[in-house]
Structure 1
């Protein structure tokens, strides 16, 4: 014990931590809750906490299980723990940890051969189930149905309970709840008959093994005694139940999270366990990390204003970030006539940043939906700037990377002597790594991938004394298994959801127009709007120094300029900015809306859409609303689009309240413009007439 305590006093463990980080790292064993704002060094803090617990003798490294939500984050955690001399601690995603445990305990809890994990995605089985029930089988529809099954399993909702639960939650679903429940039930039967597991099953079956088999639970709990959960604001009910099974009534648990970054509610995630942590563990140590080391004070100030405008924020989510970096340039705001002009301007600004010395790999273009990437791919190609679409082909699946790893593995088998980096360069020279990079195109992309492997070798050599080629190959294998790729030169194009957990020197938040940010189907649902605001906040906090926020008034150069900038930009644009005057004018116009019942002013978006204030009673024709939803399902199926693309739930409620009888009454409802009138107006009015004609 004495040597462990002496080791703990070594300056390299706690040196450089700020007072709050140090308090979290050195907190005694037991329940600890770290409320960590964006850029406050949470990964550094929790890895130092694990190292502190190990070096002080509270727990052995092999008894630590740290879980997070992405393979990349787990890989980064393992790398940092290795640098701190803690190699035996487990750092995995929830699903990877569950898979490992399930494989180990399977012979005892099931007994027969282990079931296979569904390769790729579950669309094939969902399609088979849909076909049996006579439901649509188009890929777009199957994706929506599969996502709904995933939500149900993550939320611990069975097929029998599904209709009642979605009705209670007023959840917008892609198919009638009863039909979807039958699809869910059929999918489970097909999967079980084929002796297959999906990713949700990994959590559910592992939990059942621990809850229902005492010997299994005892062996596991003897093996793991200390638990750390990162990104705790995104835990689902299924993950929380597995965590409870792991703990088995113990309290040696550290959780880290930020309720302001909860952006996966659509998948069943909830910040409630984080916010209720001190109710469950009244004696818990709570540490708040608010010093932002990532972004300039200018970016931090904007981020604070974004999240400060949120409605209904729980007390536990109120973190006010304080920028620690030197001053930087103010965020830029720009409005364009159309998306093509917006993309061209962004590409031009990226070229300016590159000319000023900002690497392409330190620049990102972030958007709300993946379909927005096309305009930026084209614009960047036209100015000769390399880019990577996050979510495209995985790094370790690329042909040149697989060839390189095979060559390195062969070379390592010969146990060569020499400097690791020199050895790697020599091996990779045989598969295409030249001294000078190619001029561009696919050859340059291949060269960049090989160079990234050399840079990984340099990183390993710098952090691990005497690193060998065999050790480097093992590191690559670990990264490939965890999908933890190295940095490759090129501008990143990514959705806001895919950008979570990442950061760049320069970030361009694009397409910030109503209907895209917030997304159209969130309108009318206060909780959904607030999640969109948190998603916007996540985007802002990805930027270290340069932040640009842009929007376009039309999709195409010859299109109607009838879009409005995102409501989230109100109060952010500087008073002297040209766009600010237009924003104030639009806001004043919105404030002129009056309640059709009492005549009072309408402020909230949902109030404007419904044409009445929240104090006045609703007058929804329930039969008409049901008919409209049936019509929408059929139309969405014909058009092969999600239901909300036809009309959102909020718009259907407004129609069912106001019961329009002609075109002018229909277009007076917020959310129904000329395009929707031309496409659906006659059909909607016919549904209203048919319902009232009975």
Structure 2
């Protein structure tokens, strides 16, 4: 079928416009297939996205912002895959990202870790359970943080996950993480702060391993009232997002640009958001607009 795409112009029953488009697609895919061995996984994904016009298509959808964030997260995953230097290529990467999480397909014989969503975990039990990403913006998700009913639903879901553990339960959070292509500081989930401190045994990095310390249950480790970055650095770019510009992000809300770096597709901005603190955004995917 693939080879036939390159011969459609010879068939009179196929409209010429469609045949030409199919021929162009065939030529590009054939060329790409010859270059894949020398390309990184991220490079392959970026070329497919750019050549296919996928981003302009996403702009026509109601949830364009979220879909673009998912796309940026896939690019981040591709970079992380390459950084592992495992020697794998595109097939191995696609196999990794195509995770199957249906509960009926989870191997219950033991001897290995089962990765699943909290929804999938309902009705299952394990001797030891890890719940990762116990951070504001992830759990509860940023989309539900200002809606009491949705926060309560996620609180119930958190309880479901916690009660899957028969013996040991680990709740983990990070001080920063890269998500949707953005490196951002993280705040401990309110769900962890709501647990009786007497029931928690805190585990922190060894002394000297990192410049962090154990937190009391209700202690914040970052003051988001002011920028943590210098504000006297000139910023490049002709998009109006200069240092001090007030902007709006579809997820993080209002913020102020504190620093610019890079140009073109590599342009990034450090933005101090009122609700989310400082975040490093890739402007190509950030969907920022100037505040009115």
Q: Same fold (TM over 0.5)?
A: no
Higher RCO (C-alpha under 8 Å, 6+ residues apart): 1
The alignment's TM-score, normalised by the length of structure 1, stands at: 0.19
Q: Select the structure of larger CA radius of gyration.
A: 1
* More strand as a share of residues: 2
